[in-house]
Amino acid sequence: MDAAEIAQQAANGLTLGLLYALIALGYTLVYGVLQLINFAHGEIMMFGAFYAYAFMEPMSVETASGLAALSALAAGVTAWDRFGSRRGRIAGACATVLAGGLFGGAAYALSRAQLGLVAAVLAALPYSALLAAALERIAYRPLRAENRLIPLISAIGASLFLQNLAQVDPWFFGTIRKSYTQIPPSLHNEAFSALGVRISNLQMLIAFVAVVMLTGLHLFITHSRLGTAIRATAQNRRVAALMGIDTDGVIVLTFALGAVLAAVAGVLYGIYLGSIYPFMGYMAGIKAFTAAVLGGIGSVPGAMVGGLVLGVLESVGAAFIDEGYKDAIAFAILIAVLLFRPSGIMGSSTREKV
Amino acid sequence: MTRDAKLRLSGWILTILFLASLPRLLPVTFVLGDYRIDLGLHHATLCALFVIMAMGVNLSIGFAGLLDLGFIAFIAIGSYMMSISLTFRSPVPWWIALVLAILVAGTVRATLGATCLRLRGDYLAIVTLGFGEITRVALKNNLFGLTGGPDGIFLGSASIPDFLDQSRNPVPLYFLSLAFAAGSSFALSRWKRSRAGRAWEAVREDETAAAASGINIFRARLWAYGLGGAFGGLAGGLFAIYNTISHPSDYDFVESVKIVAMVVLGGMGSTGGVIAGSVLFLLLLEIFRGLAEYRMLIFGATLVCLMLFRPQGLAGRRS
């Protein structure tokens, strides 16, 4: 293998790595505040990709209704959670019905309509955030006080549930792989070439979007009030609550932020690999989790570094060893990192308790 | 004899009579309108195999508190070990192959445990998940040129000993599996009250206190881990004969989750509960077979609900 080929693999790996980094942030944010491995995060990414697909293509009445029902449920649960406890039952019930109806109706209308790529992705973001928020409320919050393995099993159950929900035909998407059709062909066809390395417009777009989002998130976490609240909650939830931070709200926020990043990553991943399917979240999710652990779970810059390192190692490694073992590389790295440096590349190893 | 002991004895006799007469009772078909459920003797055999697997997982999760998301890897190792030994150029007798399956699976798991048992609970779970996936990928890629790649290893009638060949007579394999399942359950219920069993429980409940009372935490966990793997190997070896093939796609992540679900459903740590959990789980899978694509959906939702409302399972007691 010559140098140009390795460089090409590295470039492809960097692209994948940026996508892993976008997904990994969801794991790292949630782990930071809850010490929970949100196993269903890959499925949130998958649903984000499918929401965008549904808004881009005209869906059947059944699929639009299915999506509307799911969206209404997610919006209703989230609204009840945010308003019901603070403003009393009547206000909560009104908010629930209103939010459910609004988001459900909008999901139905958007699924029946045909939006452009960018508009569809933007419209998909709130839905994926609501789904993640509802997931947290239903499957994780009641289990916070339990032994860590209990919420992990619940997360696995939620992951299986969402994976199989997406397959239900005709109410959701079925098992057949879908492709985004509204992609300008120039994204794949036109490329920038230098020194024998070909970087397609799509790869540059992915890099641009990912870098903008990662930087934005980093600035949000380090410079905004809400970001400070997230960091305080991650440091010590009880003390943060005593300082007047709505820690439940912060936790919902981390789920929503992770879901937004994952939805964007899911769409880009779907375009990059050519298709989306209900199982796409499993492998991508595990690899992103590996990236998060590799970089140091709980650390935002760590997730970026971990994603990039994993993407390059995987692409270049697969070219050297055997394409068949490609998926095993990520797992081998994951095990090696956990064994030899569980705090990861950027993480600090101070918070290990007993 | 007290009344209680009499009741227990008659319960045992009834159970044994029931299990012994199953080959005569099955197959049965339940019909509810258009919906029919067929239960054959092979279901009973499968149930026994699931009980053995669940015992292996119960040893790690229930007794020692170590969640395993890749347990299927050790079943796969047992199954492949069995198939390789039986189809070798000079095939070995089935019982030596089974012992090999048990030993190799136990050793591999103990080795894995020796390297990663110092990790915290959820990280350990992810490592086991990774190991399970690596095993599957390796088997699929024809590891050492022995595992047959994506086609797996087929066990023809010529490789399976005549009396265990289900196509001739399914009864002996049923009784063999039943005997092993009963033996495993008995062993586990005894171990639970032994010195090692109490050490496992102590480590699970409070590591620091256990260490302070002189228990070598690492060694206790390693034993639970290795022994659990040996049960996986046993179940896998029998599973190869049951299935007449060792195929990589039979050993994916969802299967690991299913076994965990059986243990969780029955009640982690309770031997009787885990048996009930395995049987119930298999029955539910069969009953809902007609629901095809909704089955795993319901499975996922059930797992969440179980964690929310009864994490201690059917038989467990809440601490």
Q: ipTM for the complex?
A: 0.86
Matching residue, tokens 């040996």: B230
pLDDT of B92 > 60? The answer is: yes
CA distances B126 to A182, B68, B116, Å, are 38, 8, 11
Residue of A nearest to B208 (CA): A354
pLDDT at B1: 64
Torsion angle (degrees, nearest 10) of CA B303, B304, B310, B311? 80
> Which of A77, A149, A333 would you mutate first to test chain B, the one with the most B CBs within 10 A?
A149
Q: Residue B242: what pLDDT?
A: 86
Give the single-character DSSP code of B92: P
B3-49 residue pLDDT tens = 777 777 777 777 777 777 777 677 777 777 777 777 777 788 888 89
Residues of B in contact with A335 (CB under 8 A): 116, 127, 130-131, 134
Q: Mean pLDDT, to the nearest integer, of B174-184?
A: 87
**Quick check: B1 contacting A, CB < 8 Å?**
no
3-state secondary structure of A194: strand
N- to C-terminal Cα distance for chain B? Answer: 33
> Taking 60 as the threshold, does the pLDDT of residue B318 lie above it?
no
Question: Residue B97 above 80 pLDDT?
Answer: yes
CB A248 within 8 A of CB A234: no
CB atoms within 10 A of CB A135: 28
- Residues of chain B in contact with residue A282, where contact means CB-CB under 8 angstroms, are 253
Q: Quick one: pLDDT at residue A184?
A: 79
Query: For residue range A250-265, what is the model confidence (pLDDT) as tens digits?
Result: 999 999 999 999 999 9
Confidence at residue A353, expressed as pLDDT on a 0 to 100 scale? 38
Which amino acid is residue A115, in one-letter code? L
Angle formed at CA A274 by CA A270 and CA A276, multiple of 5 degrees? 45
Residues in a beta bridge with A191: A200
Q: How confident is the model at residue B168, as a pLDDT?
A: 72
Do A152 and B122 count as a contact with CB atoms less than 8 A apart?
yes
For residue B249, name the pLDDT band (cuts at 50, 70, 90). confident
3-state SS class at B264: helix
So what's the pLDDT on residue B89? 73
Taking CB atoms and an 8 Å limit, are B300 and A168 in contact across chains? no
- pLDDT of A349 reads 53
Which chain B residues are within 8 Å of A343, Cβ to Cβ? none
Q: Contact B300/A139, CB-based, under 8 Å?
A: no
Residues of B in contact with A141 (CB under 8 A): none
Query: The tokens of B207 are what?
Result: 């590591």
Instruction: Name the band, by pLDDT with cuts 50, 70 and 90, for residue B317.
Output: low
Contacts for B315 with CB less than 8 Å, ≥ 6 apart:
B266, B267, B270, B272, B273, B276, B277
Residue ranges in chain A modelled with pLDDT below 50: 350-354
Nearest to A154 among B297, B299, B303 (CB): B303
Res B316: pLDDT: 64
Cα–Cα distance measured from residue A115 to residue A54, given in angstroms and rounded to the nearest whole number = 9
Q: Find the mean pLDDT for residues B77-98.
A: 83
Least Cα distance to B132 among B74, B50, B91 occurs for B74
| CB–CB contact B253 A282 (8 Å) | yes
Where residue B65 falls (left for φ over 0; alpha for ψ -120 to 50; beta otherwise) is: left
Cis preceding linkage at B27, omega within 30: yes
Instruction: Region of A174 please: left (phi>0), alpha (psi -120 to 50) or beta.
Output: left
Q: In chain A, which residues have their Cβ closer than 8 Å to the Cβ of B207?
A: 354
When scoring B297, B302, B309, B312 by the number of chain A Cβ atoms within 10 A, the one with the most, hence best to mutate, is B297
Q: What is the rounded distance in angstroms from the CA atom of residue B92 to the CA atom of residue A239? A: 65
Q: Which residues of B touch A161 (CB under 8 A)?
A: 297, 300-301, 303-304
CA distance B115 to B109: 10
* Integer Cα distance of B2 and A166 in angstroms: 57
For residue A220, the model assigns a pLDDT of 92
Which residue in chain B has the smallest CA separation from A323? B141
Q: Which of A148, A158, A282 is closest, CB to CB, to B304? A: A158
Instruction: Read off the pLDDT of residues B266-316 as tens digits, 9 standing for 90 and up.
Output: 887 778 888 888 888 888 887 777 777 788 888 888 889 988 888 877 776
Taking the Cβ of residue A318 and every Cβ of chain B, the question of whether any pair is shorter than 8 Å is answered with no
Contact A331 B134 (CB under 8 A): yes
For residue B210, give Cα distances in angstroms to A149, A258, B201, B214, B318: 20, 39, 9, 7, 20
Q: Nearest CA to A40 among A143, A114, A124, A140?
A: A140
B129: which chain A residues are within 8 Å (Cβ-Cβ)?
286
Which among B188, B173, B169 has a CA at the least distance from the CA of B52? B188
Beta strands in chain A (DSSP E): 191-194, 197-200
Which chain A residue has its CA at the smallest distance from B253's CA?
A282
Peptide bond into B93 cis (omega under 30): no
Q: How far apart are CA A202 and CA A205, in angstroms?
A: 5
Spell out the alpha helix ranges (H) of chain B: 3-25, 41-58, 72-86, 94-116, 121-140, 171-193, 195-205, 207-212, 217-243, 253-266, 271-287, 294-309
